[in-house]
Amino acid sequence: MCGIAGIYRINTSVALNEIDNLTNYLTHRGPDGRGIWFNERQHLALGHRRLSILDLSEAGKQPMQCENGKFVITLNGEIYNFIEVRDELKTLGYKFNSETDTEVILRAYEAWGSQMLNKFNGMWALAIYDVDNNKLILSRDRFGIKPLYYFWDGEELVFASEVQALHKHLGERVSINKKTIEAILNFDHSYHGTAQTYLNEVKSLPAGTNFLLVNNKVSIERWYQLKKQKVPKTLKAQAQELKILLADACKVRLRSDVPVGTCLSGGIDSGTISSLISTFKADENQRFSNFTHRSFCAGFPGISFDETQDARRLAKQLDINLDVEIVGPPSEERLERALAQTDGPMPAFAFFPIWQLYGYIKSQNITVTLDGQGADEMLGGYYLGYNAMKGALQKGALLWLLDVKNTYSKLHPKASSWVRGHYNHLLKQAWSDIKQILKWPIKKVITYMGLRHFQANNLLVFNNLEPNSFEEALYQQFFSSPLPFLLHQYDRASMANGIECRMPFMDYRVVEYIFSLPSESKVGGGYTKLVLREAVKGILPDETRLNTLKTGFNAPTTEWFQTDLKDWFLKQINSSEFLNNPYFDGKALNKEFTKKLDSADADTYKWKFWAYIHVSHWLKTISN
């Protein structure tokens, strides 16, 4: 896990200070070392900031060049199955000089070219240069867990792990993407699942995609498509196979030469990871002897979404150590320091407590964590009652329709009255729509339920997935929004503190398996994540396993803005940057926010409070 950068020019050379500066903008991502490499003509320069995880010696230094000098790599991420791939390469006669996954990638490229990517189980953003053929390949992992951004104008390619690094390097050559800023202000973070960034001229390399620069010509190719897997027919058998896959996903993510911990919120996702790991024993041969089960949780005393009590109870039941980092209102200085590392404006204030938690974890000498991202988006963990009911009708599964209606109507019993009202409204709307459909002529209803004409999502059809409204919503959540935004948030918060965040639910074997399951295995019987709850029966205590309350990770934005951060809040909305902002009517919002801040319904405004303030604050910092 590191920060990578590079500059390629067709007609002119790259100066040392240029690649030096670009690489050093990423220092927080790799505090353990740095490296620079130039090709012979010096029209290509690669940079690397190292966070040492595997083989802490100088043998793991990057950029890394193979012994024959033909290939060189700069890598951000980890290939968890590097031991198995290395063993396969050894049978082909390849020898190794280090204990790194980086060298395995180099040898794999030498053996199989870009087809090697299909053998890898991991997360990565990488650049490999073929010296003899003047070929540069940039590649991103299947689901875009690790970031990679680039600028290409036909004469020059510049790439890096963060947009803000490219922004500092390119200066006035780039401009703000107005559409992206407008999306952030409207709490729409779906652009994270596209090539768009907050700069018009800087693009995000899409997940599962390669960028090729061969003899000065560029092409972008998708190397990965979601693959449908054969799954058992019964829920019990499906759950058993899922448990085996998840256990192995956790095992390979414990491979490390530095200490590893887990994040534990007290919910089913992180609880699944912790409960599975609790059954493991340290294994020197598998490279996870550095793991001692120590878990970490963010605490918010007195706040409705505080999960400390649940996390403590579960840690005690699993007999694991738990550290609770109490997150209170930050000082202005600390908040400003965190905001400097968001890599653009964030639509939610949740970034700060995540940033603080990872900072605490690093202070405890933990460099790698296992986290639970990805499960909600695949298994209906968010509120999808409307989509599930429509999907059930489209499937012709009327019994499941009633099942999901009852399941989602019982969720969120402790949610605010506004949230409950919103969810109930969606359920009533879905039920009303369905009753209208059932009044259609019988042939039309049968056609609708038969799915032969249904175009939920061309990608669902392309990937041979079941095309119904529920599956479409899951697919969009995973590949478009909110997961790509959450990956961005967790990457920046963890890497700002020199922490590598690993996600077992994002193992491609797990993802493909879950997306191949029937909808009825995901939601039903009163539960979301149904097959997961069945998979951890007897491992995860039922008090956690069967808990249906969904508590999202957030920051107490309203409470802090009404108390300790009130002066900072008022200073922001009274600043000239806010009042005269080119992207919104700052004067009108100033009056609105001043009126709403201390009102009874202030909490419904918290997203708006934060998004507008952060955009204004961010624009001020980048102009200085």
Q: What are 185-218's pLDDT values in tens digits?
A: 999 989 999 999 999 999 999 999 999 999 889 9
Percent of the chain at pLDDT > 70 equals: 94
Most confident of 202-216, 422-436, 463-477: 202-216
Q: Which helix (H) or strand (E) holds 220?
A: strand 217-222
| Residues 6+ away with beta carbon under 8 Å from 436 | none
Percent of the chain at pLDDT > 90 equals: 78
Tell me if residue 296 falls in helix, strand or coil.
strand
Tell me if residue 1 falls in helix, strand or coil.
coil
The pLDDT of residue 413 is 58
Distance CA 547, CA 533 (A): 10
Q: Is the pLDDT of residue 419 over 70?
A: no
Distance CA 195, CA 204 (A): 4
What would the DSSP string read from start to end of 393-446?
HHHT-HHHHHHHHHHHHTS-TTS-HHHHHHHHHHHHHHHHHHHHHTTS-HHHHH
User: Is the model more confident about 291 or about 147?
Assistant: 147
2 in catalytic set: yes
AA identity, residue 33: G
Sequence length of the chain is 624
Q: Is the pLDDT of residue 449 over 70?
A: no
Q: Please list the residues that pair with 33 across neighbouring strands.
A: 50
List C-alpha distances in Å: 489 to 6, 43, 146, 343, 493.
23, 34, 11, 9, 6
* pTM of the full structure: 0.94
Distance CA 320, CA 260 (A): 13
Distance CA 523, CA 529 (A): 6
AA identity, residue 70: K
User: Quick one: average pLDDT of 233-262?
Assistant: 97
φ, ψ at 538 (rounded to 5°): 85, -10
Q: How many other C-beta atoms are found inside a 10 Å radius of the C-beta of residue 27?
A: 12
Angle 506-508-509 (CA atoms, 0-180°, nearest 5)? 115
The pLDDT of residue 60 is 95
The pLDDT of residue 305 is 87
- CB-CB contact of 264 with 540 (8 Å): no
- Paired tokens of 174: 């780039």
Binding residues for L-glutamine, as ranges, are: 101
The pLDDT of residue 7 is 98
Distance CA 39, CA 270 (A): 45
Shortest CA distance to 507 belongs to which of 147, 141, 193?
141
b/e per residue 127-155 (b: at least 16 CB within 10 A): bbbbbeebebbbbbbbbbbbbbbbbbeee
Q: Is the pLDDT of residue 459 over 80?
A: no
Domains in the chain with CATH codes: 2-222 (3.60.20.10), 235-377+481-545 (3.40.50.620), 382-478 (no CATH), 557-623 (no CATH)
The mean pLDDT of the chain is 92
> With bands split at pLDDT 50, 70 and 90, how would you rate the model's confidence at 347?
confident
User: Quick one: average pLDDT of 123-146?
Assistant: 97
Distance CA 372, CA 503 (A): 6
- CB-CB contact of 535 with 246 (8 Å): yes
Largest CA distance in the chain: 74
Q: Which helix (H) or strand (E) holds 479?
A: helix 469-479
Binding residues, as ranges, are: 101
In the DSSP assignment, the letter for residue 520 is G
User: Quick one: average pLDDT of 588-616?
Assistant: 93
| Residues 6+ away with beta carbon under 8 Å from 531 | 235, 238, 239, 242, 379, 514, 517, 521, 522
Distance CA 504, CA 130 (A): 32
How, if at all, do strands 71-79 and 64-65 pair?
A: antiparallel
| Residues 6+ away with beta carbon under 8 Å from 385 | 404, 405, 407, 408, 409, 423, 426, 427, 430
